């Protein structure tokens, strides 16, 4: 993979604007070339940083009916629960743009974490089989046009945590965790082979609490002899970091 593109901004507000422009550019390319734009969302502060997409002039700059929304990781709770990533994304983003409800792929409720992960994986495989999603010719996993990824202060991405075996999964597309160190404990998550089959990934990293881990991942002495989950992110088409001043304060 080509080295990542790193964008540094003075403020979170500037990150939000640059991110909206980047996403809209990709959506236009993707919709023009194949009629749809598949996006996988993380939870956390990312959703608030997507707010510019819901505001003029950005909100009228894409064909929202062509967007397909997925969840890179999800907490196994009812969809209207305050911990649900769907609920967060719905309140902060999805309810404010005209993406058809049928294009939003939330997890199924009332399943165990394992059942929810298996069901989501089967749904993705079905969408690949009926050509709604592309396949990576290199890996055979689904190829999302864009994944939007946040990082935790100890280097996790999605719900792939440092000391948990899920980060080493090679075959499954979606797996589950029942002892997540970040509450709530029950979650499902895309695996690294699926994440790294994406075309583009944007790492959206703001705030002081991630400054140390940004230094570990991108600093002069970046170490990768035992890579943190964030250091394993390496999509097929390109990785772009969006960082604010606080996130790079240790660089």
Ligand X SMILES: O=C(O)[C@H](O)[C@@H](O)[C@H](O)[C@H](O)COP(=O)(O)O
Complex with ligand X: residue 42 or 136, whichever CB lies closer: 42
**Span interacting with ligand X, options 62-70, 93-101, 151-159, 192-200, rule CB under 6 A:** 151-159
CA angle 160, 165, 170 (to 5 degrees): 85
Phi, psi of 145 (to 5 degrees): -70, -40
Minimal distance in Å, beta carbon 22 to ligand X? 18
Q: Tell me the number of residues near ligand X by CB under 6 A.
A: 14
Measured CA to CA, the distance from residue 139 to residue 239 in angstroms comes to 18
Question: Is 150 an interacting residue with respect to ligand X (CB under 6 A)?
Answer: yes
Check residue 220 and report its DSSP letter: T
Q: Which is nearer to ligand X, 107 or 133 (CB)?
A: 107
Cis, bond preceding 184 (omega within 30 deg of 0): yes
Is the preceding omega at residue 57 within 30 degrees of 0, hence cis? yes
How many other β-carbons are positioned within 10 Å of the β-carbon of residue 189?
30
Q: Interaction with ligand X in 16-45: which residues (CB under 6 A)? A: 42-45
List phi, psi (to 5°) of 218.
-125, -10
Contact string 60-99 vs ligand X (x = CB under 6 A): -------------x-----------x--------------
Between 90 and 156, CB nearer to ligand X? 156
Minimal distance in Å, beta carbon 233 to ligand X? 11
- Backbone phi, then psi, for 89, in 5-degree steps? -65, -35
- Residue 46 is a binding residue for ligand X (CB under 6 A): yes
Binding residues (CB under 6 A) for ligand X: these are 42-46, 73, 85, 150-152, 156-158, 182
């Amino acid at each position: 993979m080509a080295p990542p593109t790193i964008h540094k901004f003075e403020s979170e507000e500037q990150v939000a604007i640059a991110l909206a422009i980047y996403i809209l550019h990709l959506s236009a390319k993707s919709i023009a070339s194949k009629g749809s734009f598949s996006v996988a969302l993380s939870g956390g502060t990312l959703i608030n940083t997507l707010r510019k997409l819901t505001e003029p002039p950005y909100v009228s700059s894409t064909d929202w009916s062509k967007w397909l929304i997925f969840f890179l990781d999800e907490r196994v709770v009812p969809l209207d629960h305050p911990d649900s990533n769907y609920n967060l994304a719905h309140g902060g983003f999805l309810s404010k743009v005209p993406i058809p409800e049928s294009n939003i792929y939330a997890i199924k409720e009332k399943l165990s974490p394992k059942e929810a992960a298996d069901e989501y994986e089967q749904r993705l495989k079905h969408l690949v089989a009926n050509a709604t999603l592309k396949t990576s010719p290199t890996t055979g996993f689904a190829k999302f046009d864009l994944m939007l990824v946040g990082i935790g202060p100890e280097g996790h991405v999605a719900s792939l945590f440092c000391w948990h075996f899920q980060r080493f999964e090679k075959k499954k597309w979606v797996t589950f965790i029942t002892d997540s160190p970040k509450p709530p404990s029950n979650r499902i998550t895309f695996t690294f082979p699926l994440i790294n089959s994406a075309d583009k990934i944007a790492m959206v990293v703001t705030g002081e609490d991630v400054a140390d881990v940004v230094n570990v991942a991108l600093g002069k002495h970046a170490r990768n002899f035992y890579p943190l989950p964030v250091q394993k992110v390496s999509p097929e088409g390109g990785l772009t970091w969006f960082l604010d001043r606080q996130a790079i304060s240790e660089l």
